[in-house]
Structure 1
Amino acid sequence: MYERALKTLRLYHRLTQSNLAEQLGMSRSYLNEIERKRKEPSLEILTKYAERFDIPLSSLMLFAEQTQNPKLDRARLYVADKVLKMLEWIAEDDQDAESETEKQPAHTH
């Protein structure tokens, strides 16, 4: 579930793949492959995400545990999923509001 968590963090902070890739010191194509689950992020990459977004590395690791340990405590998995859904909803709502603002005609006085 890394790909979902990392992409949601990027979208929540309104960053393009290119912007974030530059900030993390990686190529946009590599970032795209991580977000599309074609590549697994290294511990070094996860550490860069944690530092960039000022969150504990352990929080990112929680999302990885879901895919690697099917016997993980259901409550932790439930909470992780709900947190991601909430962040996805906020990011999507912000993007919708931004799109609506861009569509409105400019007012002239």
Structure 2
Amino acid sequence: MIHRALRLIRQYHDLSVTKLAEELSIPKKYLDGIEAGTKPVNNDILEKYSDRFDIPISSLVMFSAQITNEKKLAKKLRRSLAGKILDVAEWAMNKNEKIEA
């Protein structure tokens, strides 16, 4: 789920993968993998996103698959809520792209 959140953040700020990879000083291929969900997102990446987009790391962590010591019900609720937030954000981005086209 974190990969969807990071991709939406980039898209919201109208940045290409190439441009953001340069700004974050990471390889474009690695950023592609992060956004596809095939590469891991570590604390260093979250810090770079936090600094670049002025978003608290705690807000980004909400979309992480695993949080240490999280109870089963809390995890289920967080994942459900985070998923719904991302669904709405993706819907809004797609709707905005259609209007601009």
Give TM-score scaled by structure 2 length. 0.83
Q: Give how far 1:25 is off.
A: 1.2
Matches within 5 A, 1:22-33: 22-33=22-33
Matches within 5 A, 1:25-104: 25-64=25-64, 67-68=65-66, 71-73=72-74, 74-99=76-101
For the Cα contact (< 8 Å) 1:12–1:90, is it kept in 2?
Answer: no
Q: Give how far 1:79 is off.
A: 2.0
Q: Give structure 2 stretches of 5+ with no counterpart.
A: none
Question: Aligned pairs, how many?
Answer: 97
Q: Percent identity?
A: 41
Judged with a 3 Å threshold, the aligned counterparts in structure 2 of structure 1 residues 72 and 24 are, in CA distance, closer, same or farther, namely: farther
The aligned amino acid for 1:28 is: K
The aligned amino acid for 2:43 is: L
The aligned amino acid for 1:71 is: K
Q: Who is 2:4 aligned against?
A: 4
Alignment partners' CA distance in 1, 2:56 and 2:6: 13
